[in-house]
Structure formats: structure tokens, C-alpha cells
Amino acid sequence: MDAHKLKLDFPILQNQPLIYLDTAASSLTPQCVIDTMNEYYTEYPVNVHRGVYQISYKATEKYTQARQTIADFINATFEETVFTRGASSALNLIATSYGLSHVQKDDEIIVSELEHHSHILPWQQVAKKTGAKLIYVPLNKEGRITVENFKRVLTDRTKVVALTYISNVMGYETPLQEIIPLAHQKGAIVSVDAAQAAPHKTIDVKKLNCDFLAFSGHKMFGPTGIGVLYGKQKLLDSIEPIEYGGDMNDNVELFDAVWKDTPYKFETGTPPIAEAIGLAEAVRYLQKLKPEAILAHEQKLKELAVKALLKLDGVTVYNPTSETGIINFNLDDVHPHDAVSFFDEDHIAMRAGHHCAQLIIKWLKVPATLRASFYAYNTEEDVKTFTDAVKKARDFFTSVGF
């Protein structure tokens, strides 16, 4: 993979200095995705499933094909692939619909401190409303979820296992391939937050055998405002929608109504049409680059960077062994918000704060952290600029008295 050549696909990287190290928040958008969405708005900007005129037919066809492309991407069927506003909405749908109707008092829901707020808060609500217990997998010394520790909390009362595939703060991959069969042996279902996995891992929901899985378009070259909920067909058939209105029903009577089959019963209202078509284009772009090649590339960059950072005094890296392109670190005694302004002046964009994952920040016992995340379009020069800037920043803050 030639990252220098790849940069040319991204309009935001032309004609301005920008070292973009915040892909874990949102990836940059390639021209082909922008063009595909523009094409919708210029050539057939109309609703789907409604009109019988030509351009509406075209819109419906493109939208339908988009769903199939995305279903194929994760080895799911068309019916198992539900469009949502993003990973957050998808994860909320799982907890609200499946969770509230299947979890009872004293049941156990296994979660972890590595979860993004969008995967912990919905289950925290389910626990509060049903009287079920939230059980946290103890993290190991590095902050990882291990199979051993998972076994320790798995019981006959476990009804739901809700875990992240890859942590957005530590970049660790959860050993789901081993955890999922163990959960199934106890009759629990497994909900997977794949928001950080989809951008650089080939996801095969059949092989993984997860029950639900969610991801967002904007972290994998796609647009904002769209995400995907995957659910096993029989589960999606058996649960209720959480939003009601146009498009999701078959027959409406005065005092009752009948829903369409999945995926439509979960998708009321005019869908994000341009976004769905844009996401399908993003999937094609990602597949052309090959997720494994992207992961290998970003990992190489991350290792280069970590090696340089570990040589510096006054810099703490919290996840030196992570297997993805995420570095979570701090300048010692410098609040990340002070630090991030320094990097911003060097046109280095990265994240400071708790990354919507306060539990792991508390686990680390720090007020907040800096996060740099590498992706396909980052180069070794970016790494050098970044690590040089960290050194300069550390020297600067020391010089002014931090």
C-alpha cells in the first residue's frame, strides 16, 4: 500500500498542511465517496420506496444495492443488515429492544471498562430498569480483556455479553473468537461494538458467530449519519422496533398495525439515502485497499512512533503493545488540553480528553489522555513530524514551568 499515493484521494489533504491523527474519532473522506454522494444529490435526489417515476426507481435501486454491498462486506444477509444513524443508535437499539424484553431481575450482563459510552450506558439503563446486574470483566495489567478473566465472570445467570471488538482508547482487540462460544454455552447472546474494527478488519459475522454487531460509516472512509446494525435473522425477527412511523409497517388499522419484515421494521422514516450509497462506496474503497493491508500499515507506523516516544523522558504511553494504530499517551504533568494546542499549531490533529470512554480513563487513574491514531493515509513522515512535535512539546512545557 502506497500511503503517499493514497493521500491524493483525499481532498482535505491537498493544498494545506495537515497531519491527521484522529481517525479513531472519524476517518477522512476520499473523493470517490464524495462523488458518489454528489451524484445522488445531482442526478437522482429523491426518496426511495415511494415514487414510481424513473429517478425514484433509480434511487431505490442504488439504495438497495448499497445495503447488499454492506451486507456482503460483513458476510451477512440483506435482511440482517439494518441501517441506523451510527454505531450508537445500533447499540441502543439492541439494548432497548432485545435487552428490555429478555433481561430479568438478577440476570447478569457482562460488559467491560474498555467500552465506549455508547455500549455501556444502554446496558446500564437495562440493568437499572430490569434489576439485572452489570458485571465487569476484570482487565489484566495492560488493560486487556482476556479469555481467562472472561471465564471468571461468566455464569449460568449471564444473559448478555456486550463487548467492544477493538477499544477506541487502548486499541486492543478482544479475543471474541474464543469468548463468543463460551458465552453461547451458557445461553447468553453477544453484542459486539465493531466501530473500531470495521475500518481495518475483515468482519465475518458468520465465522464470528456474534448475535448482534454494530459499526459506523464515518470511521471507515464513509459519511457521518449512517451506521449498521447486524443481527442474526431469528433474533431480528423476534424483537420489536423501538421507533414507529412511516415505511416500517405493512398494514395499519385503527387500533393495531403490522410491521414489515426486517430490516425495514427497524427503519422508520426517510432513510439516510445519500449516506447509505456513500457508505457502500466507502466499503468498495476499503475492500480495494484490503483491510489487512491497512492494519499492517498502521501498525507499522504505530510501532515506529511508540519506539520513538518510549525513548523520550517525560512521556507516558499507556498501550505500547496495542495491535492497532492507536497510541494513548500523556506528557507527564501536562494536561492533555494544554498539550493538544501545541500540536494544533503544528497542524497535527489529534484528540485530547476521555474519548467517550470515561471508565478506561478512570481505570488508568489519569484525568484525561492524548490519543493519536494512524490510518491508511498516514506516512512515515507523519510519524516523524508527530514524534518530533511530542519532543518539542515536552521541551516547551518544561521551559515554561509545567
Ligand X SMILES: Cc1ncc(COP(=O)(O)O)c(C=O)c1O
Q: Which residues are catalytic?
A: 356
- Residue 216: which of other proteins, ligand X, none does it interact with, CB under 5 to 8 A by kind? ligand X
353 binds other proteins per the rule CB under 8 A: yes
Minimum distance from residue 356 beta carbon to other proteins (Å)? 9
Residue 164 interacting entry, from ligand X, other proteins, none, C-beta within 5 to 8 Å by type: ligand X
Site mask for other proteins (CB under 8 A), range 289-328, x = bound: ----------------------------------------
We find the least distance from the C-beta atom of residue 334 to other proteins, in angstroms, to be: 8
Task: Name the one range near other proteins by CB under 8 A: 9-17, 147-155, 231-239, 342-350.
Answer: 342-350
Quick check: 329 binds other proteins (CB under 8 A)?
A: no
Does 342 interact with other proteins (rule: CB under 8 A)?
yes
Give 277's contacts (C-beta < 8 A, 6+ positions apart): 36, 37, 40, 62, 63, 66
Q: Which stretch binds other proteins (CB under 8 A): 79-87, 203-211, 245-253, 347-355?
A: 347-355
Closest to other proteins by CB, 136 or 402? 402
> Which one of 142, 148, 344, 388 is in contact with other proteins (CB under 8 A)?
344
Minimum CB distance to ligand X, residue 16 (Å): 25
How many residues would you count in the chain? Answer: 402
Residue (252 or 400) nearer to other proteins, CB? 400
Q: Does 400 bind other proteins (CB under 8 A)?
A: yes
368 scored as a contact of other proteins (CB under 8 A):
yes
List residues near ligand X by CB under 6 A. 86-88, 116, 118-119, 164, 168, 193, 195-196, 216, 218, 227, 356
344 binds, among other proteins, ligand X, none (CB under 5 to 8 A by kind): other proteins
Fill in the amino acid letter for 239: I
Candidates 9-17, 35-43, 101-109, 335-343; binding stretch for other proteins (CB under 8 A):
335-343
The footprint of other proteins on this chain (CB under 8 A) covers a number of residues equal to: 18
Residues that bind other proteins (CB under 8 A): 335-338, 340-342, 344-345, 352-354, 367-368, 396, 400-402
